[in-house]
Copies of this chain bind each other. A is one copy, B any other.
Amino acid sequence: MRVILVAGTTRTAEVDGISAAGASRELLVHTPSADAEILTYGDTVRAPVTPVSPTGCPTPAVVTRAVRELLDFEVTVVDGGLARPTGAPTVTVGARPGSDIREADPVPTAPGAFAAAREYGRALPDERIVVGETIPGGTTTAMAVLRALGEETIPATSSSLPENPLDLKERVVADAFEGSDVAPGDGAHTPESVLRYVGDPVLAVAAGLTAGALESGTDVVLGGGTQLLTVAALVRHAGVAERATLATTPYLADDVPGLDNAATGLDLDLVVSDPGFDAAEAGALNAYADGVGKEGAAMGGALRLADEAGRLSDVTDATHAVLDRLEGADQTAAEGRSGP
Protein backbone atom coordinates (compact mmCIF):
# COMPACT_ATOMS: atom_id res chain seq x y z
CA MET A 1 0.00 0.00 0.00
CA ARG A 2 1.39 3.34 -1.03
CA VAL A 3 0.02 6.78 -0.23
CA ILE A 4 1.08 9.32 -2.84
CA LEU A 5 0.91 12.98 -1.89
CA VAL A 6 1.01 15.47 -4.74
CA ALA A 7 2.37 18.70 -3.29
CA GLY A 8 2.53 22.04 -5.07
CA THR A 9 1.49 25.65 -5.33
CA THR A 10 -0.61 28.12 -7.29
CA ARG A 11 -0.31 31.86 -6.81
CA THR A 12 -4.11 31.91 -6.90
CA ALA A 13 -3.73 31.23 -3.16
CA GLU A 14 -2.36 34.75 -2.71
CA VAL A 15 -5.80 36.26 -3.33
CA ASP A 16 -6.72 37.63 0.09
CA GLY A 17 -9.14 35.42 2.04
CA ILE A 18 -9.16 32.44 -0.32
CA SER A 19 -7.38 29.75 1.74
CA ALA A 20 -6.99 28.62 5.35
CA ALA A 21 -3.91 26.52 4.65
CA GLY A 22 -1.45 28.56 6.67
CA ALA A 23 -1.65 31.19 9.39
CA SER A 24 -0.64 34.01 7.06
CA ARG A 25 -0.17 34.63 3.34
CA GLU A 26 3.56 34.72 3.83
CA LEU A 27 3.56 31.22 5.31
CA LEU A 28 1.03 29.72 2.84
CA VAL A 29 3.72 29.08 0.26
CA HIS A 30 5.56 26.82 2.72
CA THR A 31 2.50 24.69 3.54
CA PRO A 32 2.92 21.97 0.86
CA SER A 33 6.64 21.60 1.62
CA ALA A 34 5.90 21.32 5.33
CA ASP A 35 3.06 18.84 4.75
CA ALA A 36 5.41 16.66 2.70
CA GLU A 37 7.99 16.71 5.50
CA ILE A 38 5.45 15.92 8.22
CA LEU A 39 4.17 12.96 6.23
CA THR A 40 7.73 11.71 5.55
CA TYR A 41 9.50 12.38 8.84
CA GLY A 42 6.75 13.14 11.36
CA ASP A 43 8.35 16.54 11.73
CA THR A 44 9.38 19.57 9.75
CA VAL A 45 12.95 19.44 8.43
CA ARG A 46 13.61 22.34 6.09
CA ALA A 47 10.22 24.05 6.19
CA PRO A 48 10.23 26.95 8.66
CA VAL A 49 6.71 26.34 9.99
CA THR A 50 4.11 23.78 10.98
CA PRO A 51 1.01 24.70 8.97
CA VAL A 52 -2.02 25.72 11.00
CA SER A 53 -5.13 27.60 9.90
CA PRO A 54 -5.62 31.23 11.00
CA THR A 55 -7.73 29.90 13.89
CA GLY A 56 -5.18 27.26 14.95
CA CYS A 57 -6.44 24.08 13.26
CA PRO A 58 -3.46 21.81 12.58
CA THR A 59 -2.77 20.67 9.01
CA PRO A 60 -4.48 17.42 7.98
CA ALA A 61 -1.00 16.09 7.14
CA VAL A 62 -0.67 15.44 10.88
CA VAL A 63 -3.65 13.06 10.72
CA THR A 64 -2.29 11.25 7.66
CA ARG A 65 1.09 10.90 9.39
CA ALA A 66 -0.60 9.56 12.51
CA VAL A 67 -2.37 6.87 10.48
CA ARG A 68 0.95 6.05 8.85
CA GLU A 69 2.46 5.47 12.29
CA LEU A 70 -0.43 3.09 13.07
CA LEU A 71 -0.40 1.15 9.78
CA ASP A 72 3.09 1.63 8.36
CA PHE A 73 2.09 2.22 4.72
CA GLU A 74 4.64 3.64 2.29
CA VAL A 75 4.56 7.32 1.39
CA THR A 76 5.74 8.92 -1.83
CA VAL A 77 5.63 12.65 -2.46
CA VAL A 78 5.35 13.83 -6.05
CA ASP A 79 6.41 17.41 -6.80
CA GLY A 80 3.32 19.15 -8.16
CA GLY A 81 5.02 22.54 -8.40
CA LEU A 82 6.62 23.22 -5.02
CA ALA A 83 7.76 26.81 -4.62
CA ARG A 84 9.98 26.28 -1.58
CA PRO A 85 12.64 23.63 -0.89
CA THR A 86 11.43 20.61 1.02
CA GLY A 87 13.47 18.11 2.97
CA ALA A 88 11.07 15.41 1.83
CA PRO A 89 12.16 13.25 -1.09
CA THR A 90 10.02 14.02 -4.14
CA VAL A 91 9.42 12.46 -7.54
CA THR A 92 9.86 14.97 -10.35
CA VAL A 93 7.54 14.93 -13.36
CA GLY A 94 8.26 18.41 -14.65
CA ALA A 95 5.63 20.44 -12.79
CA ARG A 96 6.49 24.02 -11.86
CA PRO A 97 4.63 26.37 -9.47
CA GLY A 98 1.35 27.59 -10.95
CA SER A 99 0.66 31.27 -11.54
CA ASP A 100 -2.61 33.01 -10.62
CA ILE A 101 -5.33 31.62 -12.92
CA ARG A 102 -6.33 35.17 -13.80
CA GLU A 103 -3.13 35.33 -15.85
CA ALA A 104 -3.15 34.22 -19.50
CA ASP A 105 -1.08 31.01 -19.27
CA PRO A 106 -0.76 30.12 -15.59
CA VAL A 107 0.44 26.48 -15.85
CA PRO A 108 2.50 25.98 -19.02
CA THR A 109 4.04 22.83 -17.52
CA ALA A 110 0.63 21.14 -17.06
CA PRO A 111 0.47 19.09 -20.29
CA GLY A 112 4.02 17.79 -19.90
CA ALA A 113 3.56 17.03 -16.21
CA PHE A 114 0.26 15.27 -16.91
CA ALA A 115 1.95 13.04 -19.50
CA ALA A 116 5.01 12.26 -17.34
CA ALA A 117 2.84 11.58 -14.29
CA ARG A 118 0.68 9.25 -16.40
CA GLU A 119 3.78 7.26 -17.40
CA TYR A 120 4.88 7.15 -13.79
CA GLY A 121 1.43 6.01 -12.69
CA ARG A 122 1.46 3.23 -15.28
CA ALA A 123 4.86 2.00 -14.09
CA LEU A 124 4.05 1.86 -10.36
CA PRO A 125 4.34 -1.75 -9.14
CA ASP A 126 1.73 -1.34 -6.37
CA GLU A 127 -1.61 -3.15 -6.42
CA ARG A 128 -3.32 -0.23 -4.74
CA ILE A 129 -2.50 3.42 -4.15
CA VAL A 130 -4.06 6.34 -2.32
CA VAL A 131 -3.70 9.74 -4.03
CA GLY A 132 -3.92 12.97 -2.03
CA GLU A 133 -3.07 16.63 -2.53
CA THR A 134 -1.70 19.66 -0.72
CA ILE A 135 -2.00 23.00 -2.48
CA PRO A 136 -3.31 26.19 -0.88
CA GLY A 137 -5.91 27.82 -3.14
CA GLY A 138 -6.60 24.46 -4.80
CA THR A 139 -10.38 24.50 -4.35
CA THR A 140 -10.62 27.67 -6.44
CA THR A 141 -8.60 26.27 -9.34
CA ALA A 142 -10.66 23.06 -9.06
CA MET A 143 -13.83 25.14 -9.47
CA ALA A 144 -12.42 26.72 -12.63
CA VAL A 145 -11.39 23.33 -14.02
CA LEU A 146 -14.82 21.76 -13.46
CA ARG A 147 -16.42 24.72 -15.18
CA ALA A 148 -14.04 24.50 -18.13
CA LEU A 149 -14.80 20.79 -18.47
CA GLY A 150 -18.52 21.61 -18.56
CA GLU A 151 -19.13 19.56 -15.42
CA GLU A 152 -21.83 21.86 -14.08
CA THR A 153 -23.53 19.19 -11.99
CA ILE A 154 -20.45 18.42 -9.91
CA PRO A 155 -20.50 20.41 -6.66
CA ALA A 156 -17.82 22.89 -7.45
CA THR A 157 -16.02 23.42 -4.24
CA SER A 158 -15.59 23.05 -0.54
CA SER A 159 -13.28 25.26 1.48
CA SER A 160 -10.69 24.98 4.21
CA LEU A 161 -12.42 27.93 5.90
CA PRO A 162 -15.61 27.49 7.95
CA GLU A 163 -17.36 30.21 5.91
CA ASN A 164 -16.66 29.31 2.30
CA PRO A 165 -15.74 32.54 0.45
CA LEU A 166 -17.78 31.45 -2.58
CA ASP A 167 -18.41 34.93 -3.98
CA LEU A 168 -14.71 35.65 -3.96
CA LYS A 169 -13.94 32.34 -5.67
CA GLU A 170 -16.63 32.98 -8.28
CA ARG A 171 -15.05 36.35 -9.07
CA VAL A 172 -11.58 34.81 -9.42
CA VAL A 173 -12.91 32.04 -11.66
CA ALA A 174 -14.85 34.52 -13.80
CA ASP A 175 -11.70 36.62 -14.17
CA ALA A 176 -9.75 33.48 -15.11
CA PHE A 177 -12.09 32.77 -18.04
CA GLU A 178 -12.07 36.45 -18.97
CA GLY A 179 -8.38 36.41 -19.81
CA SER A 180 -8.19 32.84 -21.11
CA ASP A 181 -8.29 30.90 -24.37
CA VAL A 182 -10.67 28.42 -22.69
CA ALA A 183 -14.37 29.17 -22.14
CA PRO A 184 -16.67 27.33 -19.71
CA GLY A 185 -17.60 23.98 -21.25
CA ASP A 186 -15.02 24.33 -24.00
CA GLY A 187 -12.52 22.02 -22.38
CA ALA A 188 -14.42 18.74 -22.51
CA HIS A 189 -12.05 15.91 -23.56
CA THR A 190 -9.01 18.22 -23.47
CA PRO A 191 -7.95 18.01 -19.83
CA GLU A 192 -4.38 19.09 -20.54
CA SER A 193 -5.50 22.45 -21.99
CA VAL A 194 -7.95 23.02 -19.17
CA LEU A 195 -5.19 22.37 -16.63
CA ARG A 196 -2.83 24.68 -18.43
CA TYR A 197 -5.18 27.65 -18.83
CA VAL A 198 -7.34 27.60 -15.69
CA GLY A 199 -5.91 24.81 -13.50
CA ASP A 200 -3.01 24.17 -11.20
CA PRO A 201 0.03 21.86 -11.33
CA VAL A 202 -1.18 19.58 -8.53
CA LEU A 203 -4.37 18.74 -10.42
CA ALA A 204 -2.27 18.05 -13.53
CA VAL A 205 0.06 15.66 -11.71
CA ALA A 206 -2.65 13.96 -9.64
CA ALA A 207 -4.86 13.44 -12.70
CA GLY A 208 -2.01 12.10 -14.82
CA LEU A 209 -0.86 9.76 -12.08
CA THR A 210 -4.39 8.49 -11.45
CA ALA A 211 -5.07 7.96 -15.15
CA GLY A 212 -1.85 5.97 -15.58
CA ALA A 213 -2.40 3.88 -12.46
CA LEU A 214 -5.99 3.03 -13.38
CA GLU A 215 -5.21 2.10 -16.96
CA SER A 216 -2.45 -0.26 -15.81
CA GLY A 217 -4.80 -2.09 -13.44
CA THR A 218 -3.87 -0.46 -10.13
CA ASP A 219 -6.68 0.17 -7.63
CA VAL A 220 -6.86 3.88 -6.86
CA VAL A 221 -8.32 5.51 -3.78
CA LEU A 222 -8.69 9.26 -4.24
CA GLY A 223 -8.20 10.55 -0.70
CA GLY A 224 -9.78 13.97 -0.43
CA GLY A 225 -12.70 16.21 -1.32
CA THR A 226 -13.69 18.38 -4.24
CA GLN A 227 -10.14 18.60 -5.60
CA LEU A 228 -9.96 14.82 -5.87
CA LEU A 229 -13.45 14.80 -7.39
CA THR A 230 -12.00 17.19 -9.96
CA VAL A 231 -9.09 14.79 -10.50
CA ALA A 232 -11.65 12.06 -11.25
CA ALA A 233 -13.45 14.33 -13.74
CA LEU A 234 -10.14 15.07 -15.50
CA VAL A 235 -9.36 11.35 -15.66
CA ARG A 236 -12.76 10.62 -17.25
CA HIS A 237 -12.22 13.42 -19.78
CA ALA A 238 -8.86 11.81 -20.59
CA GLY A 239 -10.76 8.70 -21.65
CA VAL A 240 -9.96 6.46 -18.68
CA ALA A 241 -13.07 4.54 -17.56
CA GLU A 242 -11.88 2.19 -14.77
CA ARG A 243 -13.74 2.61 -11.47
CA ALA A 244 -12.00 4.24 -8.52
CA THR A 245 -12.83 5.09 -4.92
CA LEU A 246 -13.30 8.54 -3.41
CA ALA A 247 -12.47 8.38 0.31
CA THR A 248 -13.21 11.46 2.36
CA THR A 249 -14.03 12.78 5.82
CA PRO A 250 -17.54 13.40 7.22
CA TYR A 251 -16.54 17.07 7.65
CA LEU A 252 -16.02 17.40 3.91
CA ALA A 253 -19.03 15.26 2.99
CA ASP A 254 -21.30 17.36 5.20
CA ASP A 255 -20.06 20.52 3.49
CA VAL A 256 -20.74 19.34 -0.07
CA PRO A 257 -24.39 18.59 -0.90
CA GLY A 258 -24.66 16.25 -3.86
CA LEU A 259 -21.25 14.66 -3.29
CA ASP A 260 -22.69 11.14 -3.56
CA ASN A 261 -24.47 11.89 -6.84
CA ALA A 262 -21.34 13.46 -8.26
CA ALA A 263 -19.30 10.41 -7.23
CA THR A 264 -21.83 8.07 -8.84
CA GLY A 265 -21.78 10.12 -12.03
CA LEU A 266 -18.00 9.76 -12.19
CA ASP A 267 -18.05 5.98 -11.51
CA LEU A 268 -16.54 6.44 -8.08
CA ASP A 269 -17.35 4.45 -4.96
CA LEU A 270 -17.77 7.01 -2.20
CA VAL A 271 -16.59 6.07 1.30
CA VAL A 272 -16.68 8.34 4.34
CA SER A 273 -14.65 7.44 7.44
CA ASP A 274 -15.35 9.23 10.72
CA PRO A 275 -12.38 9.55 13.10
CA GLY A 276 -14.63 11.08 15.80
CA PHE A 277 -12.91 14.44 16.02
CA ASP A 278 -16.15 15.88 17.43
CA ALA A 279 -15.55 14.06 20.74
CA ALA A 280 -14.42 16.05 23.78
CA GLU A 281 -11.12 14.16 24.02
CA ALA A 282 -10.19 15.18 20.46
CA GLY A 283 -9.18 18.62 21.83
CA ALA A 284 -7.64 20.80 19.12
CA LEU A 285 -8.99 18.37 16.50
CA ASN A 286 -12.53 19.57 17.31
CA ALA A 287 -11.76 22.29 14.77
CA TYR A 288 -12.28 19.70 12.00
CA ALA A 289 -15.75 18.90 13.30
CA ASP A 290 -16.39 22.66 13.42
CA GLY A 291 -15.71 22.88 9.70
CA VAL A 292 -12.12 24.12 9.59
CA GLY A 293 -9.67 22.20 7.42
CA LYS A 294 -12.12 19.39 6.60
CA GLU A 295 -9.78 17.47 4.31
CA GLY A 296 -6.38 17.56 2.63
CA ALA A 297 -3.02 15.78 2.46
CA ALA A 298 -4.76 12.45 1.75
CA MET A 299 -6.49 12.54 5.16
CA GLY A 300 -9.72 10.90 3.94
CA GLY A 301 -7.75 8.15 2.23
CA ALA A 302 -5.63 7.51 5.31
CA LEU A 303 -8.76 7.32 7.47
CA ARG A 304 -10.19 4.78 5.05
CA LEU A 305 -7.09 2.63 5.48
CA ALA A 306 -7.37 2.97 9.27
CA ASP A 307 -11.03 1.94 9.03
CA GLU A 308 -10.21 -1.15 6.95
CA ALA A 309 -7.57 -2.13 9.50
CA GLY A 310 -9.99 -1.66 12.41
CA ARG A 311 -7.86 1.16 13.83
CA LEU A 312 -10.12 4.18 13.26
CA SER A 313 -10.67 4.61 16.99
CA ASP A 314 -6.90 4.91 17.54
CA VAL A 315 -6.48 7.88 15.19
CA THR A 316 -7.24 10.62 17.74
CA ASP A 317 -4.55 9.46 20.16
CA ALA A 318 -2.04 8.87 17.37
CA THR A 319 -2.69 12.36 15.99
CA HIS A 320 -2.15 13.90 19.41
CA ALA A 321 1.15 12.04 19.67
CA VAL A 322 2.32 13.52 16.36
CA LEU A 323 1.14 17.00 17.36
CA ASP A 324 2.94 16.80 20.71
CA ARG A 325 6.19 15.97 18.97
CA LEU A 326 5.71 18.79 16.46
CA GLU A 327 4.93 21.34 19.16
CA GLY A 328 7.85 20.14 21.27
CA ALA A 329 10.17 20.65 18.31
CA ASP A 330 8.76 24.11 17.60
CA GLN A 331 9.24 24.99 21.24
CA THR A 332 12.86 23.82 21.22
CA ALA A 333 13.55 25.74 18.02
CA ALA A 334 12.01 28.90 19.48
CA GLU A 335 14.10 28.54 22.64
CA GLY A 336 17.21 27.94 20.56
CA ARG A 337 16.59 31.13 18.60
CA SER A 338 16.14 33.21 21.74
CA GLY A 339 19.26 31.74 23.39
CA PRO A 340 22.41 33.70 24.23
Whether B90 pairs with A90 at a CB distance below 8 angstroms is: yes
Residue of B nearest to A120 (CB): B87
Residues of B within 8 A of A123 (CB): 45-46, 87
Q: Does chain B have a CB within 8 A of A286?
A: no
Distance (Å) between the CB of A221 and the closest chain B CB?
Answer: 18
Q: Does chain B have a CB within 8 A of A76?
A: yes
Q: Does chain B have a CB within 8 A of A339?
A: no
Whether A85 pairs with B92 at a CB distance below 8 angstroms is: yes
Residue of B nearest to A36 (CB): B89
Contacts A45-B123, A72-B72, A125-B41 known; A89 to B87 CB distance under 8 Å?
no
Q: In the complex, which residues 177-227 of chain A have their Cβ closer than 8 Å to any Cβ of chain B?
A: none
Q: In the complex, which residues 61-95 of chain A have their Cβ closer than 8 Å to any Cβ of chain B?
A: 72, 76-78, 85, 87-92
Distance (Å) between the CB of A162 and the closest chain B CB?
Answer: 32
Residues of B within 8 A of A72 (CB): 72
Q: Does chain B have a CB within 8 A of A124?
A: yes
Q: In the complex, which residues 107-129 of chain A have their Cβ closer than 8 Å to any Cβ of chain B?
A: 119-120, 123-126
Q: How many copies of this protein are present in the complex?
A: 2
Q: How far is the CA of A301 from the CA of B205 in the complex (A)?
A: 35
Residue of B nearest to A87 (CB): B120
Contacts A45-B120, A46-B120, A125-B43 known; A77 to B89 CB distance under 8 Å?
yes
Q: How far is the CA of A41 from the CA of B89 in the complex (A)?
A: 14
Q: Does chain B have a CB within 8 A of A98?
A: no
Residues of B within 8 A of A89 (CB): 76-78, 88-91
Q: How far is the CA of A91 from the CA of B149 in the complex (A)?
A: 35
Residues of B within 8 A of A120 (CB): 45-46, 87
Whether A91 pairs with B88 at a CB distance below 8 angstroms is: yes
Distance (Å) between the CB of A290 and the closest chain B CB?
Answer: 30
Q: How far is the CA of A126 from the CA of B41 in the complex (A)?
A: 8
Q: How far is the CA of A76 from the CA of B90 in the complex (A)?
A: 10
Distance (Å) between the CB of A213 and the closest chain B CB?
Answer: 12
- Which of B41, B77, B125 meets A124, CB within 8 Å? B41
Residues of B within 8 A of A90 (CB): 89-92
Residue of B nearest to A41 (CB): B125
Distance (Å) between the CB of A71 and the closest chain B CB?
Answer: 12
Q: Does chain B have a CB within 8 A of A138?
A: no
Across chains A and B, which 10 residue pairs bring their CB atoms closest together, nearest first?
A: A89-B89, A43-B125, A45-B123, A89-B91, A89-B90, A76-B89, A41-B125, A77-B89, A87-B120, A87-B123
Other than A46-B123, A88-B89, give 11 A-B pairs with Cβ distance below 8 A.
A41-B125, A46-B119, A46-B120, A72-B72, A78-B89, A85-B92, A87-B123, A88-B91, A89-B89, A89-B91, A90-B91
What would be 12 A-B contacts, judged by CB atoms less than 8 Å apart? A41-B124, A41-B126, A42-B125, A43-B125, A46-B119, A46-B123, A72-B72, A77-B89, A87-B91, A88-B91, A89-B91, A90-B91
